[in-house]
């Protein structure tokens, strides 16, 4: 961009800055900014980087706990203690807009970015997960987006050698034109290996490492902070291009440098806003300044302007602050890995981010003005009225066998094997429970620890009742972990919403945050960090509020690892929790009756906590053979998954619901919360308690007079997505 360009109203609008914000910039600088400075303010004051619309609400999250080593908002990722001097760093982030424009690279670079957030903390990445949302697969455009995103995730994770061990995928009309692509990474490290993204030590060198800078990804943070339009495909320069093999080299080189005593003082990923973000954030955190010379920045294109260099979001780059006089040690490490390691500046004591191009100053801005002192807004919130429905007006199915097959074939409920078979989930030889059960379980060999992880969110609930939906998202994540034998420990979240300027959207956001906060306090799972993704809108409309929860759990003894499928014929099937007729917001109403309305299930958090504690106690006593949470599709889907989710090892069940009364479709497909199906040997049934549903055995799932051949159910469930993708 021409450095002498006049800053007119249309230039401000293109940069996503308001006239009031421009006035504020002029007061900060005491003069008019040049175009490079305007671009820097634009990306750093975007919602994506500054959280200017969400920051007041995020303060409601519980963040404190004795096991929290790095809190939410302090660094690139939160870190929690898992015992014996070991810790894990984990975080989830969105890459929604880039994936809508260019699904393969958008998703791939989303994975690459979240991996860098983890190893910049000093942790070795050991697992990836994802949380994805698309429009219905009956539409060819949605199939194209879905295929491209999954291929991009698989490509990056498989090539870099980090297992993608699980996640979730939902399909709904609200995501037409605006898919959600949330990527999560977790890494392991010792307490004394934690690194900070801080520029400290006046005179210490600022070293650029990794790939060269190009024009890809220009102003990606600003692009992510506005709604998608019919012209968004013209923003392809805002979509980065990733190279997982380069990132593998960068990962190993950075970890090697960080393991050298005293060599690396601070380190920061060049993610959103690229070199701009990494320089001003490290300076702000360190209470210092930074001066860099862009002539020294490795470039892969000629004639790049300061504006382009500072705003480029080229991938696989990091910024290191090293000890003065030890520059050559850093350079030698990165030369060994065939990467750039170039000193481009130094730490100063004036609190200013100063960008030079040779002898000329291209930008000079107080670092804190770009970070801590960015504008913060209190947005208007207006409640959305929910549409009600009368259960009595919903006809009962005439053919339960056909209805259940149709429900199991719903892509939201169907097996996601079409997705996870493209992922290498066994690389690194850590995976104990692979995709296909309630939560992934991995072994951390170096620490002799076992952890479980899950991602969860039912956006339909959040749309119909954001407060209850937020609570349910946390509770289901916890329920998935305890069903796997793990103690829930902490969460990260990715909050995907529409335009915060719309009062109805901001009300949804606020209520979801409040629901999540309340649930986290009850379960004792503080928030360690995450991401807010606003402006998830397209000409087709606004996405449903989708606050995705990623939850970490610790398994104290490998004997406690539990999976969801039935193990033996003749076992007793029990239900922990209640049987009731809550159909509001259910997948049954949506898929079978075309209704997305009503009051979603109520979440009693104290009751849920008692269920979770009870199940963990039962697992530790060795009485539980399998455990599976009831979620979308209700009791019937959960029972069927218990029968058929262990490959070809089908075990049916005989279930009796006659004593409960009420309509059978509500009993089978209602989505009452805090319910877990367990199986056990007959001698343990009375000791466990709960509600006896029946026994395992045979090749059919029978509920009273209704019977389904499990092999036929499995075919419908296992192959549903593949059949739609081949259409």
Can you give the pLDDT at residue 241?
81
Host domain of residue 671: 563-727
pLDDT at 235 over 60: no
Non-local (6+) Cβ contacts of 321 within 8 A are 198, 199, 200, 201, 204, 205, 206, 207, 264, 265, 266, 267, 282, 286, 347
For the chain, helix (H) and strand (E) counts, in that order, are: 25, 28
DSSP 368-408: HHHTTTS--------PPPPPP--GGGSPPPS-HHHHHHHHH
| Selection from 362, 424, 472 nearest residue 165 by Cα | 424
Which residues are 707's β-sheet partners?
702
Cβ distance 312 to 216 under 8 Å? yes
User: Alpha-carbon distance 141 to 315, whole Å?
Assistant: 27
**φ/ψ of residue 324, rounded to 5:** -60, 135
Say which residue, 249 or 225, is predicted with more confidence: 249
Can you give the pLDDT at residue 222?
47
| Selection from 597, 642, 328 nearest residue 483 by Cα | 642
Confidence band of 236 (pLDDT split at 50, 70, 90) = very low
Sheet holding 546-555, edge to edge: 431-433, 440-444, 449-456, 546-555, 487-496, 527-533
Catalytic: 48? yes
Catalytic: 191? no
- CATH number for the domain that contains residue 638: 3.90.650.10
Reduced to 3 states (helix: H, G, I; strand: E, B; else coil), residue 108 is helix
The answer to whether position 601 is within a domain reads yes
pLDDT at 234 over 70: no
Residues 589-633: tens digit of each pLDDT:
999 999 988 889 999 999 999 999 999 999 999 999 999 999 999
Angle between helix 466-483 and 503-523 (nearest 10): 40
User: Alpha-carbon distance 718 to 332, whole Å?
Assistant: 51
| Selection from 365, 215, 346, 361 nearest residue 276 by Cα | 365
Can you give the pLDDT at residue 7?
77
Can you give the pLDDT at residue 184?
98
Residues 516-544: tens digit of each pLDDT:
999 999 999 999 999 999 999 988 899 99
User: pLDDT exceeding 90 applies to what percent of the chain?
Assistant: 88
| Selection from 389, 411, 222, 254 nearest residue 318 by Cα | 254
Reduced to 3 states (helix: H, G, I; strand: E, B; else coil), residue 462 is helix
Can you give the pLDDT at residue 231?
52
| Selection from 15, 30, 20 nearest residue 375 by Cα | 20
- The distance of Cα 20 from the centroid of its chain, to the nearest Å, equals 33
Q: Which tokens is 562 given?
A: 């539990």
- Other residues' Cβ atoms within 10 Å of the Cβ of residue 192: 8
- The distance of Cα 411 from the centroid of its chain, to the nearest Å, equals 20
The CA–CA distances, whole Å, from 403 to 206, 377, 458, 589 equal 63, 49, 22, 11
Residues 393-437: tens digit of each pLDDT:
889 999 999 999 999 999 999 999 999 999 999 999 999 999 999
Residues 85-103: tens digit of each pLDDT:
999 999 999 999 999 999 9
Rg over alpha carbons for the chain, rounded to the nearest Å, is 26
The answer to whether position 57 is within a domain reads no
Can you give the pLDDT at residue 390?
77
Beta strands in 98-153 (DSSP E): 124-134
What average pLDDT does this structure show over 648-659? Answer: 94
Confidence band of 229 (pLDDT split at 50, 70, 90) = low
Non-local (6+) Cβ contacts of 370 within 8 A are 40, 41, 44, 45, 276, 280, 284, 353
pLDDT at 581 over 80: no
Say which residue, 129 or 241, is predicted with more confidence: 129
The answer to whether position 157 is within a domain reads no
Q: Which of 95, 97, 425, 612 is catalytic?
A: 95
Cβ distance 441 to 552 under 8 Å? no
The secondary structure element, H or E, covering residue 452 is strand 449-456
pLDDT at 221 over 50: no
Q: What is the 3-state secondary structure (H, E, C) of 35-104?
A: HHHHHHHHHHCCHHHHCCCCHHHHCCCCCCCCCEEECCCCCCCEEEEEECCEEEEEEEEECHHHHHHCHH
Residues 297-350: tens digit of each pLDDT:
999 999 999 999 999 989 999 999 999 999 999 999 999 999 999 999 999 999
Average pLDDT, the chain: 93
Non-local (6+) Cβ contacts of 310 within 8 A are 36, 39, 40, 274, 275, 276, 294, 355, 362, 363
User: Alpha-carbon distance 307 to 158, whole Å?
Assistant: 34
User: Alpha-carbon distance 279 to 344, whole Å?
Assistant: 11
Cβ distance 652 to 722 under 8 Å? no
Confidence band of 228 (pLDDT split at 50, 70, 90) = low
What average pLDDT does this structure show over 653-672? Answer: 92
The answer to whether position 646 is within a domain reads yes
Cβ distance 411 to 404 under 8 Å? no
The answer to whether position 710 is within a domain reads yes
The answer to whether position 665 is within a domain reads yes
User: Alpha-carbon distance 132 to 147, whole Å?
Assistant: 12
**φ/ψ of residue 248, rounded to 5:** -60, -45
User: Alpha-carbon distance 458 to 584, whole Å?
Assistant: 13
Task: Say which DSSP state 428 is in.
Answer: G
The answer to whether position 86 is within a domain reads no
Q: Which of 48, 155, 560, 684 is catalytic?
A: 48
pLDDT at 67 over 70: yes
Confidence band of 4 (pLDDT split at 50, 70, 90) = low
The answer to whether position 152 is within a domain reads no
User: Alpha-carbon distance 581 to 562, whole Å?
Assistant: 29
| Selection from 458, 381, 446, 391 nearest residue 172 by Cα | 458
The tally of domains found in the chain comes to 1
Confidence band of 580 (pLDDT split at 50, 70, 90) = confident
User: Alpha-carbon distance 129 to 116, whole Å?
Assistant: 15
User: Alpha-carbon distance 565 to 192, whole Å?
Assistant: 40
Non-local (6+) Cβ contacts of 219 within 8 A are 15, 39, 42, 43, 238, 311
Among 49-63, 187-201, 204-218, the range scoring the smallest mean pLDDT is 204-218
| Terminal-residue alpha carbon distance, the chain | 45
Residues 179-193: tens digit of each pLDDT:
999 999 999 999 999
User: Alpha-carbon distance 494 to 131, whole Å?
Assistant: 9
């Amino acid at each position: 961009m021409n450095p002498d360009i006049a800053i007119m109203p249309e230039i401000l609008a293109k940069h996503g800055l308001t006239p009031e914000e421009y006035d504020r910039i002029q007061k900060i600088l005491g003069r008019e900014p040049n175009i490079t400075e305007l671009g820097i303010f634009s990306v750093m004051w975007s919602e994506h980087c500054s959280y200017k619309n969400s920051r007041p609400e995020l303060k409601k999250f519980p963040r404190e706990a004795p096991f929290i080593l790095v809190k939410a908002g302090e660094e690139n990722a939160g870190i929690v203690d898992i015992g014996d001097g070991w810790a894990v760093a984990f975080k989830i982030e969105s890459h929604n807009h880039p994936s809508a424009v260019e699904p393969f690279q958008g998703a791939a670079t989303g994975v690459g970015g979240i991996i860098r957030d983890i190893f910049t903390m000093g942790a070795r990445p050991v697992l990836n997960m994802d949380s994805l949302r698309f429009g219905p697969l009956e539409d060819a455009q949605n199939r194209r987006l879905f295929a491209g995103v999954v291929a991009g995730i698989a490509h990056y994770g498989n090539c870099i050698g980090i297992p993608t061990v699980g996640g979730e995928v939902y399909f709904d009309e609200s995501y037409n034109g605006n898919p959600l692509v949330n990527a999560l990474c977790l890494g392991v490290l010792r307490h004394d290996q934690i690194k900070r993204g801080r520029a400290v030590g006046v005179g210490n060198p600022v070293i650029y490492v990794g790939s060269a800078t190009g024009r890809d990804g220009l102003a990606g943070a600003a692009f992510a902070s506005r709604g998608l339009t019919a012209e968004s495909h013209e923003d392809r320069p805002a979509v980065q291009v990733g190279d997982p093999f380069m990132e593998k080299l960068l990962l190993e080189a950075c970890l090697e440098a960080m393991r050298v005593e005293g060599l690396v003082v601070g380190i920061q990923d060049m993610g959103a806003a690229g070199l701009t973000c990494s320089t001003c954030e490290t300076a702000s955190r360190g209470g210092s300044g930074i001066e860099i010379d862009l002539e020294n920045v490795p470039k892969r294109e000629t004639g790049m302007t300061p504006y382009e260099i500072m705003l480029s979001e080229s991938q696989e780059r990091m910024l290191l602050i090293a000890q003065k006089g030890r520059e050559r040690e850093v350079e030698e490490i990165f030369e060994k890995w065939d990467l750039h390691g170039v000193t481009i500046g130094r730490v100063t004591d004036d609190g200013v981010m100063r960008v030079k191009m040779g002898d000329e100053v291209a930008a000079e801005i107080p670092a804190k003005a770009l970070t801590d002192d960015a504008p913060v807004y209190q947005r208007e919130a207006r409640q959305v009225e929910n549409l009600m429905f009368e259960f009595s007006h919903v006809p009962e199915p005439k053919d339960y066998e056909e209805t259940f097959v149709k429900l199991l074939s719903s892509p939201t409920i169907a097996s996601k094997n079409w997705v996870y078979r493209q992922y290498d989930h066994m690389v690194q030889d850590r995976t104990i429970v692979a995709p296909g059960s309630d939560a992934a379980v991995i072994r951390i060999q170096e620490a002799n620890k076992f952890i479980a992880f899950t991602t969860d969110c039912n956006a339909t609930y959040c749309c119909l009742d954001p407060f209850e939906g937020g609570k349910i998202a946390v509770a289901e994540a916890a329920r998935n972990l305890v069903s796997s034998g793990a103690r829930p420990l902490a969460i990260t979240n990715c909050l995907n919403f529409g335009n915060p300027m719309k009062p109805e959207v901001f009300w949804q956001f606020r209520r979801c945050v409040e629901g999540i906060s309340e649930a986290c306090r009850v379960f004792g799972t503080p928030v360690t960090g995450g991401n807010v993704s606003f402006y998830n809108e397209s000409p087709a409309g606004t996405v449903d509020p989708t606050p995705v929860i990623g939850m970490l759990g610790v398994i104290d003894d490998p004997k406690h690892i539990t999976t969801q499928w039935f193990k033996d014929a003749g076992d007793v099937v029990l239900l922990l929790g209640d049987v009731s007729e809550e159909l509001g917001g259910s997948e049954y109403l949506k898929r079978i009756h075309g209704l997305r309305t009503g009051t979603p299930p109520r979440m009693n958090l104290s009751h849920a906590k008692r269920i979770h504690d009870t199940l963990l106690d039962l697992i530790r006593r060795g009485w539980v053979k399998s455990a599976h949470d009831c979620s979308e599709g209700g009791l019937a889907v959960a029972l069927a998954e218990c029968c058929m989710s262990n490959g070809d090892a089908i075990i049916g069940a005989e279930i009796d619901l006659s004593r409960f009364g009420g309509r059978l479709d509500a009993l089978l497909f209602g989505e009452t919360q805090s319910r877990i199906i367990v199986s056990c040997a007959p001698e343990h049934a009375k000791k466990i308690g709960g509600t006896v549903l029946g026994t395992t055995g045979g090749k059919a799932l029978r509920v009273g007079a209704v019977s389904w051949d499990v092999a036929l159910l499995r075919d419908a469930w296992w192959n549903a997505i593949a059949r739609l993708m081949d259409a």
